[in-house]
Structure 1
Amino acid sequence: MRILIYGAGAMGLYLSARLSQAGHSVSLKARGAPLERAESGVPITVTNGDESQQISGVKVIAELDPDSETYDLAVITTKAWQVAEAAAETAPVLGEEGRLLTIQNGVDAPAQAAQHVPADRVLAGTAVVITERTGPLAVALTGAEAHLVLGPWEPSADQSDAGVYAQQLTTALRRAGILAQRNEDILTAVWKKLALVASYGGVGALSGAPVGITRAVPQTKALVRNAMLEVFNVGNTRGATLQEQDLEDLMGTYTQKFGESTTASLQRDLAAGRPSELREQIGAVVAHARELGVDVPIFETIYASQLPRELQARAAVAQS
């Protein structure tokens, strides 16, 4: 497959390396990153524990040119607030049957992509992996390889073609060492992921404490659970089918699978004074809830309390 990875952050570097390692033609669009154009391919270093690999063959490109190359698949790995711009720039270089995959936290990225690409060519996904960009062409992986769940955002008229393409993509990801699964109810999957990251991340931002503390204190543990229920209420009103077992799954992840020092990227960005995905995660729950007439007092409180920090961080970036 000819694959474009849009964004040279940790996730972009990781996916570029693994897909190139599996034999795909991979181009990495470096959004303002300090990377030189390298059409012949560059090595990306992937470290997991004490093991490091240099994976070659990824082309680094500064601009997208439909007259030069088109792609079977484009994966947007930017922050959620950058998806609309990335989709607009990516749309012209998708091949005739090319698909665009969004994997951001939140629930609005696929719809934003569908404003620039036909909706039946948009794939929505959730990604679970812990990565850190440690250099311009280096990424560190903590723990297991990525787990991706993906599916069509809007069913196409020809379901057989859509199914064949989804299966090809899932197979390509698995050959790259990535645990990939198809999910025909991707709406439910993205709301379930949001329920996890926005609840523990929001409560973490509010309390300033890592997971090991928030789950050990009964009051904050209950707050996380109740926040998940708020997301479930909004998501199900929107058309998802989240159930009691989904809640138990998420609480099991929060209480048993996260390390003691775990914090969400939202919490870390807010604490460091960096622009965060506050609007795309916490704000999205609030916005959808208001539109649908669903009460979300926990998320209303988190959003109102963290918005001053977010606005201050964005103002500082704008002035720099």
Structure 2
Amino acid sequence: MRILTVGAGAVGGWFGARLARAGQDVTFLVRRERAAVLRERGLRVTGLGEDLALTPELVTADALSRPYDLVLLSVKSTALDRAAKDLAPAVGPGTAIVPLLNGMAHLEHLRDRFGGAPVLGGVAKVVTTLNEHGDIVRMAPPSTVITGELDGRTSARVDAVRALLSGAGIDSPEAAAVSAAAGHPVPDAELAFTARTVTTPGSPLTPSMYRDLVAGRPTEVEHVFGDLIARARALAVHTPLLDLATLQLRVHQRRMSPEA
């Protein structure tokens, strides 16, 4: 199976590295700036006793010219539109797209662009970040991708993707539909570890949106919180605390992007 990982950051880089180390045919679609870093340093993973360095197969959008069997889409929602345009040449009649983004709003965007057939549901559970060198730092044990058909049916391609992931040491429990994947129960041990980590003084385990906020970067507020509020309104559910948090993040967003 020919695999294209769109993005080689904390999430896409992590899962792509696991697949490449397992001997799979993995190519990373990256921006020129990220390509320069990866060509100089390699794709490096550290943390929790691991020290992995790979020489990744890279491609930039201008050189992408043929379909892949599997596309792992892992970018910030703020880059989704551009990423979808860039990966278009990689999507053929038999391509499966597994999006590993926060929230769920991207599913409609991808279906509108590529049709319903290629797009699977995807949920990633991983706690990683990039350090100042652009290396991937793993901060907690989870390494899970849950995927399934959006209409809930079983399929041979989902079985094949799950087997591929499992063979690379990535947990891939069964979940027929994205709604099931999004609500997949968290194992007790994983939940307990997360609770201990986030309540320990000085813990590095923080949500990516929080890290973006304190670093003065744009956040995924509309893609995650805005979409969640819209879904709540459609169900007549009141979300006062979420509304307040979203308002604060929208103010931050406007400061970061005055033209928005």
Q: Which residue of 2 aligns with 1:70?
A: 67
Measured after TM superposition, the shift of residue 144 of structure 1 is: 1.6
Q: Is the CA contact 1:120–1:152 (under 8 Å) kept in the aligned structure 2?
A: no
- What is the correspondence of 1:47-196 to structure 2 with a 5 Å cutoff? 47-56=46-55, 58-63=56-61, 65=63, 67=65, 69-134=66-131, 138-154=135-151, 163-190=155-182, 192=183
Q: Closer, same or farther in 2 for the Cα pair 1:255/1:136, shift >3 Å?
A: closer
Over residues 49-73 of structure 1, what are the superposed CA-to-partner deviations in whole Å (9 max), with x where a residue is unaligned?
A: 34312223x2111125564x32001
Measured after TM superposition, the shift of residue 17 of structure 1 is: 1.3
Measured after TM superposition, the shift of residue 38 of structure 1 is: 8.7
Letter in 2 for 1:89: D
The Cα RMSD (Å) is: 3.1
Q: Which residue of 2 aligns with 1:269?
A: 212
Q: Give the distance between the partners of 1:144 and 1:251, measured in 2 at CA.
A: 11
Letter in 2 for 1:80: S
Q: Which residue of 2 aligns with 1:217?
A: none
Q: Give the distance between the partners of 2:26 and 2:46, measured in 1 at CA.
A: 20
SS of 2:237's equivalent?
coil
Q: Is the CA contact 2:75–2:101 (under 8 Å) kept in the aligned structure 1?
A: yes
Over residues 2-48 of structure 1, what are the superposed CA-to-partner deviations in whole Å (9 max), with x where a residue is unaligned?
A: 11111121112212211111111111111353423999xx8422112
Q: Structure 1: where are the runs of 5+ without partners?
A: 194-244
Letter in 1 for 2:11: M
- Compare 89-98 and 271-280 and name the one that shifted more: 89-98
SS of 1:35's equivalent?
helix
Q: Is the CA contact 1:6–1:31 (under 8 Å) kept in the aligned structure 2?
A: no
Letter in 2 for 1:265: S
Measured after TM superposition, the shift of residue 179 of structure 1 is: 0.8
Q: Is the CA contact 2:128–2:136 (under 8 Å) kept in the aligned structure 1?
A: yes
Tell me the TM-score normalized by structure 2: 0.85
Letter in 1 for 2:88: A
Which structure has the larger Rg over C-alpha atoms? 1
Q: Give the distance between the partners of 2:126 and 2:113, measured in 1 at CA.
A: 28
Letter in 2 for 1:123: L
Q: Give the distance between the partners of 2:24 and 2:18, measured in 1 at CA.
A: 9
Letter in 2 for 1:138: D
Q: Closer, same or farther in 2 for the Cα pair 1:283/1:101, shift >3 Å?
A: same
Q: Give the distance between the partners of 2:19 and 2:77, measured in 1 at CA.
A: 22
Bigger proportion of residues as helix: 1
Over residues 105-125 of structure 1, what are the superposed CA-to-partner deviations in whole Å (9 max), with x where a residue is unaligned?
A: 111111111111121320121
Q: Is the CA contact 1:130–1:142 (under 8 Å) kept in the aligned structure 2?
A: yes
**Sequence identity percentage:** 24
Q: Which residue of 1 aligns with 2:2?
A: 2
Letter in 2 for 1:163: S
Measured after TM superposition, the shift of residue 176 of structure 1 is: 1.2
Letter in 1 for 2:33: A
Q: Closer, same or farther in 2 for the Cα pair 1:48/1:150, shift >3 Å?
A: same
Q: Stretches of 4+ moved more than 3 A in 1?
A: 36-39, 64-67, 248-259
Letter in 2 for 1:53: L
Q: Give the distance between the partners of 1:179 and 1:79, measured in 2 at CA.
A: 23
Letter in 2 for 1:21: R
Q: Give the distance between the partners of 2:149 and 2:189, measured in 1 at CA.
A: 23
- What is the correspondence of 1:34-53 to structure 2 with a 5 Å cutoff? 34-36=34-36, 43-53=42-52
Larger RCO: Structure 1 or Structure 2 (Cα < 8 Å, ≥ 6 residues apart)?
Answer: 2
SS of 1:95's equivalent?
coil
Q: Which residue of 2 aligns with 1:12?
A: 12
Tell me the TM-score normalized by structure 1: 0.70
Q: Give the distance between the partners of 1:135 and 1:37, measured in 2 at CA.
A: 11
